[in-house]
Every structure is written in C-alpha cells, then in structure tokens.
Chain A
Amino acid sequence: MSIAASLKHAARWGGLTLLLSLPLSGWMLNGYQVTTTWHRPLWLAGGVFVGTLLAMALARLLEMPPLRKLRWRMQTKITVTRRPALPAWEWGVLLTIAATLPLWLSTYWLNVMILALIYAVLGLGLNIVVGLAGLLDLGYVAFYAVGAYGYALGSQYLGLGFWTALPFCALLAATFGTVLGFPVLRMRGDYLAIVTLGFGEIIRLLLNNGTEITGGPNGLPAPAPTLFGLELTRVAGQGGTPWHTFFNVTYNPNLRAVVIYMVLLAFLALLFFCVGRLQRMPIGRAWEALREDEIACRSLGINHVTVKLSAFAMGAAIGGIGGVFFAAAQGFVNPTSFTFFESALILAVVVLGGLGSSGGVVVAALVINILHELLREFSDYRVLVFGMAMVVMMIWRPRGLLSMRRQFFAVGKNL
C-alpha cells in the first residue's frame, strides 16, 4: 500500500472510532443539557489512527528486501503459507480498541468485561483439552478452583503476591492436571467425561469441607494485585505503599479493576498467539492426531502418554491462571464459584465458539458473558434462553461461530 492509501485507511478507522465513541463517551447529560466533551473521543480516534498507521508500517517493514529475504531464505519449491484469520493491522486496531475500553466503560461493565476475558482464557485452555486433543473434560472448573484457591491460600499462608502467584498457580494446576491425566490415560469419550466430572466435584467438596484451611463455605479473601510494588487499595495491606500516596493523587477505586483488565488483556493476547503457534508445532499436531486416531498416532512414533498428559497439563495450567485473575478481581473466593455449572459454561464457550478455533472461543466468551448481563432482568429464564440459543446455534452453525481454520502449504510462485 502506498503512503497516501495507508493514511486514508488509518483515517477511515480513526473516523469510524470517532463516530462510534462520540455518542458513547462524548455526550454527557448535565442537568437538562447535553454537553459535548470532545477530548475523550478525539483521544480514542487519534489512538486508533496512530495504531493503525504503526501496524501498517510494521507490516510494510516485514515486506522490505532485507527482511523479506530472511523470510524466503529457505528457497524451496514448496513454501509454508500462513494466512492468519485477520491481517496484522486489524489485530492492532482490535487490541487498541480493547485497551481503551476502561476509559469509557463504567465500573460495572468493566467488571463484566473482566469476567468475559477470564472466560476467554478458560475457554482457550479447555479448547486444548477438548477441541484439540479431543478429551472431553467435564471437570475443568477444578483447575480454575486450584488457581483461585492457590492464590488466596498462598497469599494467606506463604505471603504470595499476585505476580508470583501466576506462575506458581499455573504449575500447581498443571500438577493437578497430570495427576488427573494418569488414571484416565486409557479412557475416552463418556468414561473420561464421567471421571473428570467426579474430579471436579471432589475438588469443590474438598474446598467446601476443609474448613480449617480453606475457610469452607465462608471462603477466603484474595488480595488485589500490586503494580511495581505499589498497592492499588486505599490502605496498604501487603506491606507496600498505596499507589495514590506514592504519586500524591486522589484515590481511585476503579484502579484495581483497570489494572486487572489491562494485565488480563495482555495475557489473553499472549495466550492467543501462543495457542496459535502451538497448533502449528509438532505437539499441537500430535494433539489433533490423537483426537483423530490413537492407533495411527502410535504407529507414527507419537508417544500417546506424554502427548495426552501434556494436553491435560497445558489446559490445567491455563485454567489455573484464569483462577488467579478471578480471585484477584473478586477479592474473595468461595466454593460456590466452582460448581459444575461453571464447567458446563466453559464447555459451552468452547463448543459455541467452534472446537479448536481460538478466535471463536474468544468471541463466544464475550457474547455469552455480555448476553448473561443483558438478560439479568429475566434471570429466572436465563438458562432457558441460553439453552435455546445453544440449540439454535448447533443447527445453524454446527462447527461453532468461527470454525477452525487450517493452515496449508502452497507451491511458491515467485521461486
């Protein structure tokens, strides 16, 4: 694309953002008058404009002769062509918009978004187990609980902070995943579903009844995350300085949610990227092959034990991280958050989104959570509506909202 065309393109996106954000955040009701505040929409539009330009410049840079040469260094007749679902600059736009949401969303909707992103993370994790490896896990909530309680208990007994809890709980949950994986190595389908269902319930009951350690039904507090050693709460609870004291600004109760949202968004983006890579790596292909035909896999030299366990462990680790975010966002954990219904909901996210499709899972997580909030007034019928939506979806798009795309190889033209 020429520079003029790029500018036009970026301007179009910026204009669109302005158009969209003006009614959402630019007009304010002041008494009986509507006042127009331009600065927020303008900032947003400017951000999108610059972001688009940068993303396109980056894409162009990769096409430049030296880098291009590097990309085509392996001159062979057959080349790997990767066609991402969206081009790079569209990703830039999406991420920029997502990152600016806290500027104009209310606290309430910001918390809804946090929950939606947590579900997206959980969906991506479960997608590895169910969508890729084809192991129907109905107890995925167990790993979510392990992560959440790992953080709450860790901070209470070991003085664990949010940032150390992330890898710690991922490892802890992965260990649980492996422990579950061993006995079910020879199981598939219905039998596997029943055992994992039981496993999920066992974890929840342990948490509920281990009153001395876990606080039982009363639950446990979970501290807010810290940012570079600064605390986001009104008074310091973890031995640091509160953020507003350090910078000498007024206390903003929203800050906790904003920080969690941003970290979560960054993690989701990273996870999305990593899962995409994993799918193209030998281990990802082995997961899928295992789903398709275990005997053929073994005759191809795939060690089904390690492949299965790695799918369980990887899925569990991601679930554990989702749990840490959940605990940090809620500030509190108790067993009622980890019932079978949660497992079913996460599975619904995966199936609705499209088994194996990361993009679909993220979209489904957003749709389900936002729908859930919009239907709050009909809360008695929510599950009913939800079930009907599911049935309609399965008739209309049996492969999910965005069905999985497959990479392919093409015979190179220019070589």
Chain B
Amino acid sequence: MNAEERRLLVLEGVRAAYGAVPVLHDVTLHVDRGEIVTLIGANGAGKSTLLMTLFGQPRATAGRILFSGQEMTALPTHRIARLGIAQVPEGRRIFPAMTVEENLILGITPLTAREQEDPGLRAALLEHVRSLFPRLWERHRQRAGTLSGGEQQMLAIGRALMSRPRLLLLDEPSLGLAPLLIRQLFAVLRRIAAEGTTIFLVEQNANQALRIADRGYVLVNGRIQMEGVAADLLADGHVRQAYLGGH
C-alpha cells in the first residue's frame, strides 16, 4: 500500500465558522488505516468543532474532507454516518429514556436495510459490545438515563461500534471520569484499535491520549500548531509545558 491508499481520513485546508465567527483556520491532517491518532488542545481550541465539521455541522467553508479517497465535504449528515464513520459525541448524548440495548440497537442505523434486519449480525454486534463492556451489559434493560457517567460513556462507545465503523471518532471520552475508569477506558480503546478499527481521539487529557496514540496533533486557536509521533510529543518541552502540567 502506498501512502495515498493508507489514508483513511484526510482534511485539506479545512475552515469552519459559526455564522461570522471563524473557528477553524486551514486545518490539514490525516489519519491512516489502523492508526490511533489523537488531537489535543485547550478548551475552546475548536476540537469539537472539527469533529462536528466532519459530519457537516457546521459545514466546512473551505477545503476538502476525504474519507477513503472519497470526497465527503458536502454530503448530508446522515449520509456521512453511512460511509463507515461513527461518532462518540462530546457529552455522550445517549437516549436517556430508552433502555441500554435500545440505544445500542439504534447504533445499527447506518448499516444497510438488509444488514439491519439480519438477526445473526445484530446478535454478533451486541455480543461484541458485551465482550468489551460486560459491566454495561449487566444493565442492558435499564433506562440509559439512570446509568453512571462511566457507563454512559461505555454506552456511547458501544452504540458507535454497532455500525462496525472503519473510523471511530471520540470527543473527550475521559471527561468527568475517575482516574481508574479513564485507564480502563483507554485500555478498551486500545483493544478496539487492535481489532482493526481506526481511531481519531480528541482529548484534553493529553497525557493518557498520547500514551495510547501512534501520532498526535496539537490544535491551538483553530490552527494545527504541532504534529508528530505521539512519543515525541509526549517528550516535547512545549507540549509538556502547555498540556501535561509541566511534569
């Protein structure tokens, strides 16, 4: 495979704005197949906006977004989800009044109608989520709104995995979780990646994120300020200063 073919997600000079207020300026980055890539940055840098722009909300005002070589910059949101990209949005956004497994079942929406109606596939997908998050499965009949924060995060990830995505986008999954839970969560992300799903991880928790990632980007005020191999970024003086609490 040459470099071109390895690229799963490519952003070229992407700009985005909320109304007249620009948030992203010429963002160029790429994620290769099988990689874990992380995007770190301070609060308000535009990380969430970048993930949302991938899904067309807000739409990129300039530049191109390619998935697996295919241009998706102008596709409607629901069509983007069907390309094989799943999003674990900031704040989880689970469906609180529905049960855990109804939430999971909704995750298969991006699949084709035939796949959705295949009970064998559905069972296999549920089984996969169960093997990743046994604790979550114990509560599969419970209303999702009654889950703890960590369980809700697992549910959001499980729901995203139900569509067998090629690329999994996560927006600050560690937000508000206890340190022990964060470690478990990152271990699961590693496992998901090892099973062949490419991961693009947005985090403020740069330390943990860079430890599991292959490469990383640093976003500052809507611009990519630094990029490189994760281990190098972890060792970099500037990054340590700005995002790792200086130690």
Contacts and interface: CB of A to CB of B under 8 A. Distances in A.
Contacts of B46: none
A300 B159 contact: yes
Given A77-B123, A80-B119, A409-B140, A295 B93 contact: yes
Interface string B79-111: 111100001010001111111011001110110
Given A289-B106, A302-B109, A76 B123 contact: yes
Contacts of A76: 119-120, 123-124, 127
A292 B97 contact: yes
Contacts of B126: 78, 409
A299 B94 CA distance: 11
Interface string A397-415: 0000000001111000000
Nearest to A304: B78
B73 interface: no
Contacts of A301: 78-82, 109-110, 163
A298 interface: yes
A328 interface: no
Contacts of A303: 76, 78
Contact of B77 (A285, A291, A299): A299
Given A76-B120, A408-B140, A300 B101 contact: no
B140 A299 contact: no
A296 B94 contact: yes
Nearest to B162: A300
A286 interface: yes
A406 B102 contact: yes
A293 interface: yes
Contacts of A304: 78
Given A78-B126, A78-B127, A299-B55, A288 B97 contact: yes
A136 to B, nearest CB: 16
A409 B104 CA distance: 11
B95 A288 contact: yes
Contacts of B96: 292
A298 B120 contact: no
B164 to A, nearest CB: 13
B61 interface: no
Nearest to B141: A408
Nearest to B104: A409
Contacts of A407: 102
A37 B200 CA distance: 80
Q: Which 5 A-B pairs have the closest CB atoms?
A: A301-B81, A76-B123, A301-B110, A292-B95, A296-B93
Interface of A: 74, 76-80, 282, 285-286, 288-289, 291-293, 295-296, 298-304, 406-409
Given A74-B123, A293-B95, A408-B101, 7 more contacts: A79-B123, A285-B105, A298-B57, A301-B82, A301-B163, A303-B76, A406-B98
6 contacts: A286-B106, A288-B97, A302-B106, A406-B99, A408-B99, A408-B140
